[in-house]
Structure 1
Amino acid sequence: MKKILTLFAVVGLMAFTSCEGPEGPPGQDGSIPAEVYEVSNVNFTNTNNYNPVIALSPAILPSDMVLVYRLSGVDNGRDVWKLLPENYYLADGTLDFGFDYDFTISDVSIYMIGNDLGGVVSSFRLNQVIRIVIVPGYLTGKSVNKPDYSNYNEVIKRYNINDNNIKKIKL
């Protein structure tokens, strides 16, 4: 009986190892690097419902991780990037306004939340600079040494992104 089971196991193993499936789509073999897009002149106004949408090409894959950062200032000559979602509160602890985002395979939608978005000072609403980091799923893996995603510099270092090779988008 053991010999028959062993024979079936060997035949089954040979059958499965000799099978080939269809070739996968081009460019999805794990060789796509992480990318960064910088979008300047992003305005959050009543005209766009405080929700600019940024079209991206090539498509964002379902396994990709998308991180969105807003340039919040400059400190000692270095850009300060804040990871979205980003919220600001009133003195009593209630939400004043904030930024958040979602994405599809072809765009990233960045939107403001709050009660009186028109009353938010223009330095938070107009001429914003946004960076969108797309990290392919094969790079994120299940590593226990994940970067601090709130730290833009740590993310680009961890995923070996050349900060001088950012793709610029103008709205």
Structure 2
Amino acid sequence: MKKILTLFAVIGLVAFTSCEGPEGPPGRDGIGAEAFEIEASFSFNTTDGYIISDSFGKYLGGDLFQNESVLVYRLEGTTSSGSDVWQLIPTDVYFSNGESITYDYNFSIQAFTIFVGGDNIANRPAYINNQVFRFVIIPADFGTGKSVNKADYSDYNAVIKKYNIDDSNVKRVKL
């Protein structure tokens, strides 16, 4: 009797392990820090509430993994040598007349929203038209534990160095 049960167990194991179902949707490759860039080729405007919003799937091929962190940088300008200057948001931009505007963002595992608020926004076209934002996705594994060598998140170059991101290979998309 034991031999018959063992035979049925082996046959059942072989039968069930060889079954295949339909292939699932494509997802993100592995776990590691990555970056992508969006160029907002439109204006932040009052009609849209001075926000841009989109899903991560368009840029990453899927949602964020649980507990991943997102850093967002705004292209503030370039140096005299032509290097990009990235500014971590949230940030405030102050003007000589005492007015200011604020860039901020929020995100879920599926989507992100970037918004601008502050004084006299509509009269600041250089700050609300054709903005470029770079997103850096940091896996939860990098954020666990206490580390003396934490990256200075306000310094974009320190972040990409810390997380071994190839800055020349960042995916660029117009929104």
TM-score interval, smaller chain:
0.7 to 0.9
Q: Which residue of 2 aligns with 1:97?
A: 101
TM-score for the superposition, normalised by structure 2:
0.73
The partner residue of 2:131 within 119, 128, 131 is 128
2: CA distance, partners of 1:147 / 1:116: 35
The partner residue of 1:80 within 75, 85, 90 is 85
Matched residue pairs, number? 141
> What pairs up with 1:20-99 in 2 under 5 angstroms?
31-42=30-41, 43-57=43-57, 58-75=62-79, 76-91=81-96, 96-99=100-103
**1:165, distance to aligned residue in structure 2 (A):** 2.0
2: CA distance, partners of 1:103 / 1:83: 15
Change beyond 3 A, Cα 1:46–1:165: same
What SS does the aligned partner of 2:127 have? helix
Q: Which residue of 2 aligns with 1:149?
A: 153
**1:101, distance to aligned residue in structure 2 (A):** 0.5
Name whichever of 83-92 and 105-114 sits farther off. Answer: 83-92
> What pairs up with 1:6-21 in 2 under 5 angstroms?
none
Structure 1 unaligned segments of length 5 or more: list them.
1-26
**1:144, distance to aligned residue in structure 2 (A):** 2.1
Structure 2 unaligned segments of length 5 or more: list them.
1-26
Q: Which residue of 2 aligns with 1:18?
A: none
2: CA distance, partners of 1:129 / 1:67: 14
2: CA distance, partners of 1:50 / 1:135: 27
Alignment-mate amino acid for residue 129 of structure 2: L
Change beyond 3 A, Cα 1:115–1:123: closer
The Cα offsets for residues 92-136 of structure 1, whole Å up to 9 and x where unpaired, read as 76x5211000001111100012133212x2111000010011100
1: CA distance, partners of 2:66 / 2:119: 33
Name whichever of 60-69 and 125-134 sits farther off. Answer: 60-69
The partner residue of 2:118 within 89, 110, 114 is 114
TM-score for the superposition, normalised by structure 1:
0.75
